[in-house]
Structure 1
Amino acid sequence: MRYFIIPALGLLGACATPQDMASSCQTYGFKPGTDSYAQCMQKEAHANNQRREHMRAKLREMGRPPEVTHCQADMLGTGFQCSTF
């Protein structure tokens, strides 16, 4: 059983929270409320969604039903809309 738990935990660590994405964009030098910040947040959200899709595929390979939360930044990069399925 440990064989399945350890890889799954490693995959879960690959996904960023909205706060992580915002922190990354601010670290890159983008200011909240600017167009460049919003674009950064969109790119971070897209990259995060790709990581989540990869995680879902790996969980399917292990025979586990995945539950994934997708978050999308708003156009100004100041808020998020998330859904779990």
Structure 2
Amino acid sequence: MDTEQQQAHDIVTAIVHLALSLELKIVAEGIETQSHFNGLKALGCHLGQGYFMCRPMPMNNFFTKFIDDIDDIDDIDVA
């Protein structure tokens, strides 16, 4: 991990710990990779959204896609 990535990780970790200490629900936005998902889940994020879960799509495809994929997402809610 380079310095910039480490700083970003440290900032996210601090924000998540602060939110958890205040007993707030945490929504992680912009999750783009399995690695991001796993890291945020490990930190204790409650909710998440981003391209990793689903790319933007036409409204008429949303319900079909959501119902088909709902069993593929575990241990973190999709916001």
> What TM-score, normalized by structure 1, do the two folds share?
0.33
TM-score for the superposition, normalised by structure 2: 0.35
